[in-house]
C-alpha cells in the first residue's frame, strides 16, 4: 500500500520518495502491532491452560511407578518417566503438623476402620514350614458388613481376615468385587455391623485430614495428610507379578487416577481411608494405595473410581465376585 502525501514545491521524484518512505514506516508499525497482539494472545492462552491444568476436570500428568504386586509392604515409586519427571513442581509440600480432627471426632470415626490381614506362603516357604502374614487397612461401606481395601493386599492371600476396632479378630472376608486398575477390593464380612462414613468424590486441592490406618501391631495409626492435586499415576496393574491366585495378572501397565498427597505413608497404611471434615461431618475422600520411595509423598485412589466399583456390588450378597479393570 502506498500513501501519497502532497507537498507544494516538491518535485515528483521527491514526493514519490517521501511516499515510499512513509509507506515503509506504516508497514513496520502494523507488523509490530500484529506481533505484540500475537504475544499477548499466546500469553493469555498459556495462563488459561496452566490454570485449567490445576483442576480435577482435565487430564492429569503421569508418573511411571512400579507397584511391586507381591511385596509385603506398600507399593513404592521406583522409576520416573523421562518425559514427565518428578521435579520440584510435583512436590506436594510439607506434611501438615496436625490433622485438625478433635479427639471426640476421632473416637466417633475409628469404629468404621478395620485391619485387613492374611497369611501368604511361597513354595519355598511351604517347604521350610514358614508362613508370612501381610497386613493393611480398610473401612466399612454399604450395610456395614462390606469392607473396602487395596487389591494388592489380598493378591495372594488364601483368606483375607479382618480385625475390628472393638477387638474382634479373625473374621473371614469374602471377596465380592475387585478393581485391579485402581487397586481396590470389596470384601463381605458376615456380622461386622460397622457404621460406614459417607463418601465424597470431589475435594479441593489443599484439603487436610486424617489417614485412618492400622499398624502391624494392631494399633491405630492416625496421621495427617494434605491433598496436593489430582494426578494420573502410570503403574503395573495389580497382580502383574503374581504367578498364582484368584487375581493373578500380567505385566500390563495402566494409568491410575489418584490424589497426590503430602503424608507420611507407612507399611500398614495400604487401604486406609482419607477422612476429612470439610463439610462439617466426617467423609472419606480417598483410599491410600502407595507412596514414593523418597520424601513424604503418598498416593490414594479417588472415591469416584471406588463408587464405580461399588455400583457393581449387591451389598446384600457375598457370593458373586465381580472383577473390574481386568
| pLDDT computed for residue 133 by the predictor | 74
Spatial separation of the C-alpha atoms in residues 182 and 202, rounded to whole Å:
17
Per-residue cell: 326? 481386568
| pLDDT computed for residue 220 by the predictor | 79
What is the side-by-side strand order in the sheet with 146-149? 171-172, 161-164, 113-120, 132-141, 146-149, 184-188, 174-179, 322-324
Question: Is residue 61 over pLDDT 60?
Answer: no
Q: Kindly report, residue by residue over 271-299, the tens digit of the pLDDT.
A: 999 999 999 999 999 999 998 877 789 99
pLDDT band, very low/low/confident/very high, at 309 (cuts 50, 70, 90)? very high
Give the pairing of strands 62-64 and 146-149. Answer: unpaired
Q: In degrees rounded to 5, what are phi and psi of residue 284? A: -95, 130
Per-residue cell: 195? 457404621
- DSSP letter (8 states) at residue 268: T
| pLDDT computed for residue 302 by the predictor | 96
Q: Kindly report, residue by residue over 199-255, the tens digit of the pLDDT.
A: 999 999 999 999 999 876 567 789 999 999 999 888 889 876 533 344 444 567 888
| Cα angle for residues 260, 263, 266 (degrees, 5° grid) | 110
| pLDDT computed for residue 221 by the predictor | 80
- DSSP letter (8 states) at residue 66: B
Spatial separation of the C-alpha atoms in residues 169 and 171, rounded to whole Å:
6
Question: Is residue 45 over pLDDT 60?
Answer: no
Site of grid cell 479373625: 170
Site of grid cell 486441592: 205
Q: Which of 39-48, 55-64, 133-142, 248-257 has the lowest mean pLDDT?
A: 55-64
Spatial separation of the C-alpha atoms in residues 298 and 228, rounded to whole Å:
10
Domains and CATH numbers, the chain: 1-52 (no CATH), 62-324 (2.40.10.120)
Give the pairing of strands 184-188 and 146-149. Answer: antiparallel
Spatial separation of the C-alpha atoms in residues 113 and 271, rounded to whole Å:
10
Site of grid cell 497369611: 119
Cα radius of gyration rounded to whole Å, the chain: 29
The whole model's pTM is what?
0.69
Q: Could you tell me the sign of the dihedral formed by the alpha carbons of 157, 162, 167, 169, in that order?
A: negative
Q: Kindly report, residue by residue over 105-138, the tens digit of the pLDDT.
A: 998 999 999 999 988 755 544 444 455 678 899 9
Amino acid at each position: 500500500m502506498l500513501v501519497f502525501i502532497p507537498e507544494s514545491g516538491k518535485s515528483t521524484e521527491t514526493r514519490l520518495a517521501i511516499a515510499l518512505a512513509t509507506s515503509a514506516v506504516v508497514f513496520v508499525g502494523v507488523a509490530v502491532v500484529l506481533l505484540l497482539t500475537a504475544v499477548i494472545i499466546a500469553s493469555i492462552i498459556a495462563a488459561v491452560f496452566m490454570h485449567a491444568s490445576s483442576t480435577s476436570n482435565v487430564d492429569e500428568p503421569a508418573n511411571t511407578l512400579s507397584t511391586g504386586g507381591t511385596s509385603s509392604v506398600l507399593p513404592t515409586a521406583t522409576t520416573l518417566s523421562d518425559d514427565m519427571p518428578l521435579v520440584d513442581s510435583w512436590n506436594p509440600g510439607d506434611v501438615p503438623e496436625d490433622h485438625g480432627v478433635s479427639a471426640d471426632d476421632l473416637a466417633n470415626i475409628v469404629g468404621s476402620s478395620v485391619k485387613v490381614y492374611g497369611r501368604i506362603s511361597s513354595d519355598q516357604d511351604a517347604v521350610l514350614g514358614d508362613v508370612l502374614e501381610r497386613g493393611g487397612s480398610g473401612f466399612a461401606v454399604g450395610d456395614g458388613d462390606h469392607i473396602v481395601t487395596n487389591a494388592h493386599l489380598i493378591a495372594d492371600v488364601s483368606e483375607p481376615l479382618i480385625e475390628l476396632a472393638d477387638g474382634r479378630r479373625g473374621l473371614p472376608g469374602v471377596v465380592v468385587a475387585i478393581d485391579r486398575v485402581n487397586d481396590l477390593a470389596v470384601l463381605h464380612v458376615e456380622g461386622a455391623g460397622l457404621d460406614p462414613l459417607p463418601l465424597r468424590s470431589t475435594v479441593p486441592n489443599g484439603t487436610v485430614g486424617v489417614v485412618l490406618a492400622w499398624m502391624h501391631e494392631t494399633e491405630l495409626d492416625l496421621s495427617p495428610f494434605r491433598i496436593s492435586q489430582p494426578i494420573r499415576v502410570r503403574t503395573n496393574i495389580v497382580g502383574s507379578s503374581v504367578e498364582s491366585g484368584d487375581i493373578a495378572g500380567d505385566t500390563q501397565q495402566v494409568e491410575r487416577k489418584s490424589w497426590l498427597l503430602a503424608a507420611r505413608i507407612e507399611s500398614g497404611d495400604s487401604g486406609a481411608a482419607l477422612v476429612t471434615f470439610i463439610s462439617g461431618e466426617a467423609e472419606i475422600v480417598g483410599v491410600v494405595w502407595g507412596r514414593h520411595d523418597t520424601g513424604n509423598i503418598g498416593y490414594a485412589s479417588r472415591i469416584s473410581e471406588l463408587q464405580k466399583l461399588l455400583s457393581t456390588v449387591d451389598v446384600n450378597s457375598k457370593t458373586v465376585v465381580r472383577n473390574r479393570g481386568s
